Structure 1
């Protein structure tokens, strides 16, 4: 692995050489209250309650509860659909955690985790009882229309089983995998529960909500669960580890993510005297801000871009994400020496991670003074490897211009959960895309 690190860090040296030759869970008090269910909601709950479950993740030692979610039995079998994030501890640390289900009658038992889909946040578990057949996933899935009533079931806040009403409001494409927008309450603990139409057909699986809005919730389309159920049906016993499966899925995601984000050239924006690379798309948004205070002898203007979504791996790790930051600093009442000290302190404040992190290795970094044929820059490239998921890395690249005395551009690229090759690919493109505004 060290050989790969060394060659990764050479991206800066290589670029410098080329250019020398020729001169990139929630607080209960904040939850929306569940409205009193309609007559139709009561009928649906009565019909489906026997196949509705609460799923609990417990510590093996002492059986203390660590996390809870919901799930539902499919057809008349013993397979249960839920969210991956509900059972992630069981998937990644089976030696520490065990899974238990509780149904609406109070019956409980152990569960086996058979299959996971990190990309769509789904999982399938097996229990020791069969369903009644209420929740089915037919080959012909329901066609949803804007404003159509939908109903979410689950166990909100570990308070008891419940049903909530809302409306379907289209497909959301802010991430790389489509989700359904449900304008209705999905509270903590309802994750993994079913969302059904007025005639009882399963439309999706409860997955998340926006904390900065009212009743803005999301569902995983049920067709993704259908594919995972087919895989789970042939699994005889719970695998000893899902690390390899999760790693393969994350590697597939990073290929899609990088290829999609770089399908077109990076957009170039003017920031002071410089041209900076950004990416604006359905998956990535950019914002700008300025700090121009009368009591400060300098001004700072920023452009920040960040992906709208990331992949949940565990409570300690979210990955499959890219962010860009550019800061343009201009000295208004500073001499060259004081401005240089200001810029140096800003560069020194950049953080690249800890060597004590149990999820990733410590950062291995190199620092070079380079030129990309447009600008001389100071650059630091840091790489960290995932401890459990072979072939995945986090890359961080920070650059600082050195062509002016009283203006400075400091840029940063962070890309998480990528292959070694894609990390180099994006870092090099970012570095090559920084330049000066062309004079008219």
Structure 2
């Protein structure tokens, strides 16, 4: 396997020489590989009952050599189902079993350490035991951002074929994201998640996290990893990992709600109704309209969302905010038919995040007719579902359809996932006032 890894790297270096037409970048790549090939590991998640590999990623040595950094999503299955999975790394026919010791679920980071030996003598003084180190040279972390266009090198284990170096460029931070990510123009492939991305000085400036293909990759900034490491070293958390994750998601969504409420929402006309929209740069917005001459109807809609949701585990995401408005007009229809049509059209709306039944309880809804301070009357449904394992978190779904106009109606809805009850109530109070008829 070692020969195959080195042979694949030689092919990568030849390709870099051909593409760039210069030796400097390739020399840098050779230097990075030579210095740190022993410090990057394949992280394997083993399903215990079958003894088979369930998933894999990459990780790298940091700090004093006792910690391995990787992505949270690489090891999340172990966190949520510790009795079902084991984390392993291997180098030169030597295997280590690792435990997760700290996570940052918002930035998709985790720290791993060699698992304690269950057969160790518990009477032996912990102070007398030297820390178990991994074989390899620890990477140095750089909390700053590179210059735009700077050449970077991504390391990892793509497709289970051995350690690889991929050259790319720093293209700044990704726009329209509440959580910062680096735009990296390089081929990050499956299996490289959790691997380091270094500058020409071999300092870690980012961590591989995702790809959109076509040489578009995304990195966790090195500053987030530095912060996680410092927090773990200076004030290691004594609470269970699941509670740490719950607290991190709650802090994230509370910050989103606070940012939204601290910004003055702009009034605008949508069809025949006045709506309020947030100008926050991390909200991605869209709109559409349709005029049906045969049915004599007019529909116009507008919505915004916070972009990518936070990954928690397979099929389970959170930390997401979206809202939408839809105005519907049918001047020749009977008045009650207008409300019925819009209620039916929006009745199939579902929350923007996903989650399995073992993670989420059922929605409980409160339905009533209300009139807001703008004088607009609507039938409102407010639904909440609590998380089962992440205590204190909830998903909230709000839907309102106006009932006080004969030939026109408006719908407003929002989803907020992974939120505390306090933050949910703050957003509800605000969102109740976002609609108004122009004449009022």
TM-score band by shorter chain is 0.7 to 0.9
Deviates more, 1:36-45 or 1:94-103: 36-45
Residue 95 of structure 1 is matched in structure 2 by 83
Distance 1:240 1:251 in 2: 15
Question: Deviation string for 1:23-75 (max 9, x for gaps)?
Answer: xxxxxxxxxxx882334323322221111111111212112222211101126
Map 1:5-44 to 2 at 5 A. 36-37=15-16, 38-44=26-32
Partners of 1:94 and 1:235 in 2: how far apart? 24
1:162 has 2:164 as partner: yes
* Structure 1 residues 225 and 347, CA gap change in structure 2 (3 angstroms): closer
Aligned partners of 2:239, 2:419: CA distance in 1, in Å?
25
Matched position secondary structure for 2:35: helix
- Does 2:62 match 1:74? yes
Residues 220-369 of structure 1 aligned to structure 2 (within 5 Å): 220-233=220-233, 241-331=240-330, 334-336=333-335, 338-351=337-350, 357-369=357-369
Contact 2:317 2:355 in 1 (8 A): no
Contact 2:272/2:438 (CA < 8 Å) preserved in 1?
yes
Q: Deviations over 1:229-286 (max 9, x none)?
A: 34445899x9894111111111221221111111123222211121112223121121
Residues 332 and 407, structure 2, Cα contact 8 Å, conserved in 1: no
Q: Distance in 1 between matches of 2:339 and 2:421?
A: 34
Q: For residue 121 of structure 2, what is the aligned residue in structure 1?
A: none
Alignment partners' CA distance in 1, 2:355 and 2:105: 27
Residues 78-87 or 341-350, more deviating? 341-350
Aligned residues: 401
User: Superposition pairs for residues 98-177 of structure 1, below 5 Å?
Assistant: 98-103=86-91, 105=92, 107-127=94-114, 129-133=133-137, 135-137=139-141, 141=143, 144-172=146-174, 174-177=176-179
Q: CA RMSD in A?
A: 2.8
Give the structure 1 partner of residue 406 of structure 2.
Answer: 405
The partner residue of 2:188 within 183, 186, 189 is 186
The superposition leaves residues 316-373 of structure 1 with CA deviations (integer Å, 9 ceiling, x where unpaired) of 2221111011111122654445444423422433446999822221111111111113
SS of 2:37's partner is helix
Q: 2:50 aligns with which of 46, 62, 76?
A: 62
Q: Deviations over 1:118-156 (max 9, x none)?
A: 122111111365243252237xx5662111100001111
Per the alignment, do residues 419 and 145 of structure 1 end up closer, same or farther by CA in structure 2, a change over 3 Å counting?
same
SS at match of 2:38: helix
Instruction: State the Cα distance separating 1:209 from its structure 2 match.
Output: 2.3
Match of 1:49 among 37, 55, 74: 37
CA distance in 2, matches of 1:268, 1:234: 47
Distance apart, 1:293 and its partner CA: 4.2
- Structure 1 residues 137 and 355, CA, compared in 2 at 3 Å: closer, same or farther? closer
Tell which has more relative contact order, 1 or 2 (C-alpha 8 A, sep 6+): 1
The SS at the match of 1:436 is coil
Give, in whole Å, the separation in 2 of the partners of 1:76 and 1:337: 70
Matched residues in 2 for 1:75 and 1:415: separation? 37
The answer (yes or no) to whether the contact 1:75–1:131 under 8 Å persists in 2 is no
- SS of residue matched to 1:413: strand
TM-score (norm 2): 0.83
**CA shift at 1:157, angstroms?**
2.5
Name the CA distance, whole Å, in 2 between partners of 1:235 and 1:367: 45
In 2, Cα distance between equivalents of 1:190 and 1:387: 31
**Structure 1 residues 312 and 143: alpha-carbon distance in aligned structure 2, compared to 1, 3 A threshold:** closer
Once the two structures are superposed, the pairs formed by residues 363-402 of structure 1 within 5 Å of their partners are 363-373=363-373, 374-402=375-403
Would you say the 8 A contact 1:76–1:130 is kept in 2? Answer: no
The answer on whether the counterparts of 1:90 and 1:97 sit within 8 Å (CA) in structure 2 is yes
User: Following the alignment from structure 1 to structure 2, what is the Cα–Cα distance between the partners of residues 75 and 249?
Assistant: 23
The residue number in structure 2 matching 1:437 is 438
Question: What is the TM-score normalised by the length of structure 1?
Answer: 0.83
Secondary structure of 2:103's aligned partner: strand
